[in-house]
Amino acid sequence: MILSAAIAAGETALRYFRNKPDVRWKNEGRSPVSEADIAANDILKERLLLARPNYGWLSEETDDDQSRLSCETVFVVDPIDGTRAFIAGKDLWCVSVAVVHRGLPVAGVLYAPALDEIYEATVDGPALKNGASIRVRDAQDGDALHVAVAEDIVSSLAPSYRNGIVRVPHVPSLAYRLAMVADGRIDGTVVKKNSHDWDLAAADLILERAGGGLNTLQSQALSYNRPNVVHGLLCAASKAALPGLLAASRTLEGH
């Protein structure tokens, strides 16, 4: 159900891609939203809530309805994660759809139509990319870790850790960046504060089922569908690499 809805939304968004979609700005001019975001959101909302009318709804492109808090199960979606990249004609954007039950994601899909990639996972199954199982990279002692971290904060990482990593250049879609950790292309990432449930929920589950983790600086897993859907600074990596990244990142708490 969520896979077919994500594909339908992604195919609709693809028709606007590199085709000069109308764009407006929200959040006091800080966040762009295109007509493709709205069209994809409409498809997701119609299809998903028609199939499960008793589920709650949380989307970046829908005004938040606090009635979701009374629902045990909620759809958490981002119609286009990486809108800036989408508008700029870059391929790194995706549709993100998660089913969250009692605060935890139990099914998730990321569809990157411009790359022809589908990531998916359920709480009791493997993480898949285009139907094949994926796993985080098993870095060996002495291997340089490839970590996606913003240029403006990399210098604040603990020096003993910073000197042993290769910085991965900016990946404009946060959900896709977490999928890159899940499929072993990169070893980890530091997520700046102010990410939202819709950026994270589907990718969090995919990463977890691939052998990784997404944690707060206090080494806690995330909970979703709370009154406040904004998160603080986070780290994602394989289960083996995550403690080291978290320890090195605690110097960033003020960022």
Residues 69-126 have pLDDT tens digits of 999 999 999 999 999 999 999 999 999 999 999 999 999 999 999 999 999 999 999 9
Q: How many angstroms separate the Cα of 242 from the Cα of each of 113, 136, 147, 193?
A: 30, 11, 11, 18
Shared domain for 157 and 94, answered yes or no, is: no
Contact 165, 147 (CB under 8 A): yes
**Number of domains into which the chain is organized:** 2
Long-range contacts of 127-134 (CB under 8 A, 24+ apart): 127/182, 127/206, 127/207, 127/209, 127/210, 129/179, 129/182, 129/183, 134/182, 134/183, 134/184, 134/210
pLDDT score for 136: 98
**Which residues form the domain of 69?**
2-133
Nearest to 202 by CA among 2, 1, 61: 2
**Residue type (1 letter), 241:** A
Nearest to 109 by CA among 19, 184, 206: 206
End residue of a domain, out of 101, 133, 165 = 133
For the whole prediction, is pTM greater than 0.75? yes
Shared domain for 105 and 8, answered yes or no, is: yes
pLDDT score for 172: 92
pLDDT tens profile 127-157: 999 999 999 998 776 678 999 999 888 888 8
Q: Tokens in use for 230?
A: 């904004």
CATH of the domain at 71: 3.30.540.10
Shared domain for 124 and 164, answered yes or no, is: no
67 is a domain residue: yes
